[in-house]
Chains A and B, each alone.
Chain A
Amino acid sequence: MAENPSGPPAPGMPPPATTDGPRSTRSGPGVVLVAVYGLLALAATGRSVLQITEYFSRAPLAYVLSALAALIYLVATVALARGDRTSRAVALVAISVELVGVLVVGLASYLAKDAFPDKTVWSHFGSGYGFVPLVLPVLGLLWLRRTRSS
């Protein structure tokens, strides 16, 4: 899904940075993915800082997981935005942890309600965030796959 592969490149557009090797993860639609990750990173960090500073004792487990989610989103955002070889590996790990996290925490928030008296980004599979936290890691992994060296 490069930008308009059939048409000629727009005048003044720089040529693609790499022709062989992996495509940058922020090229094309990747930039939207980075933006959504950035937004979630912002939302999760804000929420997490508030939870831990204002009322940590209310739900320690949930809030530690909130902080972990925030950290994962920050790492994934930066890694996807950088998009070099090392960053791809970092992004792969971060997004995999994210996928496992949202699935495990999502399931646990239904099964062990007592441990989650307050919501986190990942509880109930991210329903408080329009299920974006559930969809995003899948898109992220697909995107990493698609931009692999061809």
Chain B
Amino acid sequence: MLFPLTVVVLVAAVCLMAVAGWYAARSLVVDDRLLLVAGVTELGLLVQLVVCLVHLGRVPGGGAEQATFAAYAITLPFVPPAALFLALKEKTRWSMGVVAVGAFAVAVMTARLQQIWNLRG
């Protein structure tokens, strides 16, 4: 995995988590700013997916590691849209909490992806 790309995705995901958490605390609902941050995160995840699939053959550790790597890369881009869909449908502070949880999951999974990649040694 490209390390700079991982950093970009992580920063975007942490920003999304912060904004959503702040909105939840202030009882705000989804707006353009949140959608913009989520959009940047999603764009990063889509680029990451392509990069991951291109380099899948170079993932160390055999079939199981490669399967995990691919599964993470493919699952990740689905997380922000799912959370945002709920946030747009149910405009409560609690759906902002869901977006924050989703953004946290994106950060953790992206870090795991980089971890698996780093095992190449």
Contacts and interface: CB of A to CB of B under 8 A. Distances in A.
Interface of A: 3-4, 10, 13, 28-32, 35-36, 39, 42, 46, 50, 54-55
B68 interface: yes
A29 B95 CA distance: 8
Interface stretch (B34-42, B45-53, B96-104): B96-104
A31 B68 CA distance: 28
Mostly, the A contact residues are helix
Contact of A3 (B68, B93, B105): B93
B92 interface: yes
Contact of B27 (A4, A28, A29, A32): A4
B112 to A, nearest CB: 10
Nearest to B78: A42
A50 B98 contact: no
A39 B79 CA distance: 9
A3 B64 contact: no
16 contacts: A3-B27, A13-B91, A30-B94, A31-B86, A31-B92, A31-B94, A31-B97, A31-B98, A32-B94, A32-B101, A35-B101, A36-B101, A46-B68, A50-B68, A54-B64, A55-B64
Nearest to A40: B105
B64 A28 contact: no
